[in-house]
Amino acid sequence: MTAPLLRVQDLVKHYTASGLFGARGQPVRAVDGVSFEVGRGETLGLVGESGCGKSSVGRTILRLQEPTAGRAEFEGVDVFALDRRELRRLRRRMQIIFQDPYSSLNPRMTVGAAVAEGIEIHRLARGAEVGRRVQRLLEEVGLDPGYGRRYPHEFSGGQRQRIGIARALAVEPSFIVCDEPVSALDVSVQAQVLNLLGDLQRDRGLSYLFIAHDLAVVRQIAHRVAVMYLGRIVETGPTEALLAAPRHPYTVALLSAVPEPDPGRRRSRIVLGGDLPSPSNPPSGCPFHTRCFHPARNERCRTEVPMLRPVGATLAACHYAETTPLPGASAA
């Protein structure tokens, strides 16, 4: 069996909150023991509500922020154990595409200079060859090679995201964290960018950690899905199997919010009660029990933390996953 490109084990990322006069409050448990693998040429979709910790996972893996605990192995190398020089070399292989394609680009740099920056830092080319590489990259992401002389404000949101993708590709990575790369784009442009990412994966053999809050978007690109809630993965499995028969109530609720493309069918929408609990003061037991609608919910859910375990075709962290009500659809 081929070893995974990336293996993350028990990843923890806590933020220390400062109160009045600098007093320290309870730590914010953004990521609280997350484990997963990403294979070569594979896309893992990481899904959940805003505030569930999914972006913190991606940024911590790349060490854009330091972990509190855990381990991340990339091609067998412990990313968290690398010194600054070793990490800089590794960053050629691990890149990120940010959610906001405008704020991630320096408005004072031309597009060509922004894409060329990584090539020059890692000394992948010199002189005129740098410009030729930039032109090829812009063409590869569906832009006119002559756009390299323009500035970010001259482009639409979709074009700026293509520039961000070209910049990530410039250093020839094998793994890219896609941090909600289409959430700020119109639906028609989302499809174009997703198709582009799929083509690049096929042509370059890329692996993606695709972070999103929309299961419909993830369905188009991910081979497997991991659903996060309050800093933990509560369900994971092959995309189609998980979406066809989710076993965790939270996954069922997320799926019920996806619009039904068939106008002749209606899906009952599950509206979760209450707000997402504070990650600085998470509930005891199952983190989802305060909003759960499972008919079997009881005292065990409030006191005992459920572990991920096989249930059907997925792994689910629910004591009563076998009897989770599936999302219903009825004919109009």
Distance CA 13, CA 31 (A): 5
What pLDDT band is residue 104 in, cutting at 50, 70 and 90?
confident
146-167 confidence digits (pLDDT tens) = 999 999 999 999 999 999 999 9
- 167 within domain boundaries: no
Confidence (pLDDT) at 329: 45
What pLDDT band is residue 332 in, cutting at 50, 70 and 90?
very low
Structure tokens at 59: 């940024």
Residue for token pair 């091609």: 75
Among candidate residues 106, 14, 1, 126, the one with its CA nearest the CA of residue 66: 14
Distance CA 140, CA 144 (A): 9
- 70 within domain boundaries: yes
- 71 within domain boundaries: yes
Confidence (pLDDT) at 23: 53
Among candidate residues 121, 312, 123, the one with its CA nearest the CA of residue 235: 312
Tell me what the mean pLDDT of segment 54-70 comes to.
96
- What is the DSSP secondary-structure string of 79-134? GGG--HHHHHHHTTTEEEE-S-TTTTS-TTS-HHHHHHHHHHHTT---THHHHHHH
Residue-range definition of the domain harbouring residue 307: 6-93+173-331
Instruction: Tell if the pTM clears 0.95, that is, is over it.
Output: no
For residue 25, the domain's CATH number is: 3.40.50.300
What pLDDT band is residue 3 in, cutting at 50, 70 and 90?
confident
The number of distinct structural domains making up the chain is 1
- 24 within domain boundaries: yes
* pLDDT over 90 percentage in the chain: 78
231-284 confidence digits (pLDDT tens) = 999 999 999 999 999 999 999 999 988 776 666 666 677 878 777 888 888 999
Query: Which H/E stretch holds residue 302?
Result: helix 299-303
